Structure 1
Amino acid sequence: MTEVLFYHLERRGLDDVLPGLLEKCLERGWRTVVQTGSRERCEALNQRLWDYRDDSFLPHGSSGDGFDADQPVYLTDAPDNPNGATVRFLVDRADPPDLAAYERAVFVFDGRDADELADARARWKAVKAADFDLTYWQQSESGRWEKKA
């Protein structure tokens, strides 16, 4: 059964949090696809993953880079999964594909944005109604993740 996680951002934004979450996936040997809500956001995240830290390299690619099937992390604004990922991140209110095709789906949303918060609540209800295994994480004041549900 697919495990679905909701990450509620409150202290730090997606650009600061996503690289660390993706590093954890790579450490575990998980192939990952990140779906954004728009092509522009996909391109911005692509750039961010190249320069988020001077002492780190996060291997990734997106449409047009080539070798899509070989990318350990693939960025897209579509429901595709060209790298055969078992983990799917959904950011910026991206419309999810069938989550049953993944071992893990991760919704990351900014709780400071009313539209993203409302969308996350609706997604939570839909995922819960579909009887997936759900977990909810929220940033603490220190920026760490605390399991809330």
Structure 2
Amino acid sequence: MLAETIFSAVSVAGLGIAAITAYRKRLLAAARIAAYSLVPLGLVLTGAVEWAFDTVFSPTAWVGFGVLGAALLLFMSTRAIERRRAGRKEATEGSRPGAVAAPAASAPALGQGQRGATPKAQAQQAADDFSDIEAILKKHGI
């Protein structure tokens, strides 16, 4: 009962401030203040204030919140354990002797002569690639 009275008084005071603001020809600000001041009145009329204060001061409600928190904690911990076990399972499956290794990069992706090539040969091939590019650019006048 006290909460409803306080919320109603705050709403009336806000509407009074909005009226003074409107008198000073600041209509947009007055409308915004009126909107803010009508929120507590709407909460009182819908019964949300009474419900909220009954919930806050109710020991049964706090026990219920505690039970919900415990359930959430259990859910999150079991999910974390499940993920950890799945990660271990994947790691052990990959290290089995009969497991198939991941395929290596194919020869066309590496280039034909690069597998066992020396660094000098690789540098020569890179220079040849750039000379081809230079020839193409010169042909087009770039």
**Superposition TM-score tier, normalisation by shorter sequence:** under 0.3
Q: Larger % of strand: which?
A: 1
Give TM-score scaled by structure 2 length: 0.20
Give TM-score scaled by structure 1 length: 0.19
Q: Larger % of helix: which?
A: 2
